[in-house]
Structure 1
Amino acid sequence: MLAELLARGGSALLEGFPPDGREYWAARFWDRAAAEQHVQLRSEFLTQKETIAELLRKYGQDAKQVIEVACGTGEFTAMAAKLTPASEITAIDISAEGLARTAKRVKHDNLKLVEGDFWADHDLGQADLVQCLDAIHHLGDLRQVLVRLRSLMKPGGVFVGNLWIGDNFHEFQRKRYGTAAHLVRTASFFGTAVIIRASAGQLKTGAYRTQLTKSEDAVAVLRDVFDEVVEVRKERYFMGFVCRMNDGPQQ
């Protein structure tokens, strides 16, 4: 109960301050392979990965170009290379080590890797298929992130994404770290929230790098941002989804 109170208090203090994990993630990478070995959560991670594979098989078959944002170590980049007919794949990530691992993992004749911040202008162009997986909740305000991702889509294009949702957050964290460690981490989050609020956002720590959204709220934002929410796959801790742009010009 204390962890829940600290999380709610921290979230209230952080209203209006989106997470900024750029420095944190530039210095490391998301090791999904390690996460998939977790005794209690392995099946959840693998189920989510298969969900994304199914969505790419179902909705990625018309893709000629793919842009992947925050590719990490390239696990989903490799999936796009294998499961779609795309002749061009561009993957961007802020982590040099993550990109180095992507280069080793992904086998594709026309793969372009870009090191940099999602929010900077890298002249990525637009693609038939845009994907952002295991990362949207780290990139900032959910609506703003999705609007920027939409800008990378060609008219008629498809977006495949997922979110770590807040529906069962504390259950997930207790399984992942244990009850005591979860309380310590939540207390650290609350302390960071106090620092951010007191400094009007000028100071921050890596303890606040994720924006967790309840699934129903996330779906509402998807419907606001994209022309069509084609499919949503909600699981206990994750939510995969496919959205589409109309064939006409962007509004």
Structure 2
Amino acid sequence: MIARLAVAAGQRLLRSGFHAPRQHWARRVWDGDRAEGHAVLGPAYVAERKQIQALLASLAPRLTSPWEAVDVAAGTGRYTRALLEAGAARVTAIDVSPASLAALTNRAADPTRVTTVCADLFAALPPGTVPEAGFDIVLCCDAIHHVGPLPAVLTRLRELAAPGGLLVGDVWTADHFHEFQRARRSRVEHVLASIRFLAAAAVNRLLRRAFLQAARSQLLSAAQVQELLRETLGPQVQLNTSRYWVSFAYRLPPGQDNAGQGSVCLGPLGR
């Protein structure tokens, strides 16, 4: 109860959003492979990855080879490898953490097919990062809640995609957030972390400073995530809701106007 109240109060203080997640994550490493080995939450992470892998396996045959993909907020490359296994000729992995990208390169079975770019998604990407026509698949998994407000992230991801390209990702939801955190840490640690979040939100609001840590500030219920996905991408976005995430897939219109009209229905997402 204390943790719920603290997080809710912190979110109200940060209702204008956070502004500088790069400073927080540039110094850290998110290791999805390690998360899959967690004693309690490991099966949930494995199920999340397998769901996305099944989706990629169903989508890849619909693309014209050779096709290129981008893994946004790639971490140590759990989904970069999934894109390679699905048949991508090349994957561009974007992350703000140099240490994460170094680990990603070391773990890639064929690093010659991977290009790493240390950059903020919302900053100007280095020249040559994005193919002239855009990427055939733009993927962002287990990260959107850290990168920025959902509509802004979706809009930026869409800008990276080729006409007729695919957006694939998932969004961590608030429905079972406290259960997740109690399993990830302990009840005491979760309460303390939630109180620290509230304190930091209060200080940042008072001093009008950028708020660095993103996850708790961007938590939305599954219903809210689904609504924003449909509003931002269009009613034909395909959704699949699990206990902790909402997965989505969306095909952009084949023309040059990526405004969210005329998308192609992809069918149910694979589990």
Tell whether the structures are fold-level matches, with TM greater than 0.5: yes
Structure 1 residue 18: Cα displacement: 2.6
- TM-score when normalising by structure 2: 0.86
Distance in 1 (alpha carbons) for counterparts of 2:75 and 2:216: 15
Distance in 2 (alpha carbons) for counterparts of 1:214 and 1:14: 17
- TM-score when normalising by structure 1: 0.92
User: Residues 143-179 of structure 1, C-alpha deviation per residue, up to 9 Å, x if partnerless?
Assistant: 1111000101111111110111111111111111111
Runs of 4+ with >6 A deviation = none
- Secondary structure of the corresponding residue to residue 243 of structure 1: strand
Distance in 2 (alpha carbons) for counterparts of 1:37 and 1:19: 32
1:4-19 alignment to 2 at 5 Å? 4-18=4-18
> Is residue 166–residue 215 contact of structure 1 (8 Å, CA) maintained in 2?
yes
User: Residues 79-114 of structure 1, C-alpha deviation per residue, up to 9 Å, x if partnerless?
Assistant: 100113x22221111111111111122215432111
% same residue: 33
Cα distance, 1:167–1:75 mapped onto 2, change above 3 Å:
same
Cα distance, 1:151–1:165 mapped onto 2, change above 3 Å:
same
Structure 1 residue 206: Cα displacement: 3.9
> Is residue 18–residue 214 contact of structure 2 (8 Å, CA) maintained in 1?
no
> Is residue 134–residue 162 contact of structure 1 (8 Å, CA) maintained in 2?
yes
Distance in 1 (alpha carbons) for counterparts of 2:60 and 2:31: 25
Distance in 2 (alpha carbons) for counterparts of 1:56 and 1:48: 13
Cα distance, 1:241–1:196 mapped onto 2, change above 3 Å:
same
Structure 1 unaligned spans of 5+: none
Structure 2 unaligned spans of 5+: 260-271
Distance in 2 (alpha carbons) for counterparts of 1:118 and 1:104: 23
1:117 aligns with 120
**What one-letter code is carried by the residue in structure 2 that aligns with 1:90?**
T
Structure 1 residue 230: Cα displacement: 4.0
1:14-33 alignment to 2 at 5 Å? 14-18=14-18, 20-33=20-33
> Is residue 164–residue 238 contact of structure 1 (8 Å, CA) maintained in 2?
yes
User: Residues 20-67 of structure 1, C-alpha deviation per residue, up to 9 Å, x if partnerless?
Assistant: 321121112101122222211111111111111111111233161111
> Is residue 84–residue 90 contact of structure 2 (8 Å, CA) maintained in 1?
no
| Aligned residue-pair number | 249
1:245 aligns with 252
Distance in 1 (alpha carbons) for counterparts of 2:33 and 2:230: 32
Distance in 1 (alpha carbons) for counterparts of 2:30 and 2:229: 24
Q: Are residues 1:199 and 2:201 paired?
A: no
RMSD: 1.8
Cα distance, 1:178–1:229 mapped onto 2, change above 3 Å:
farther
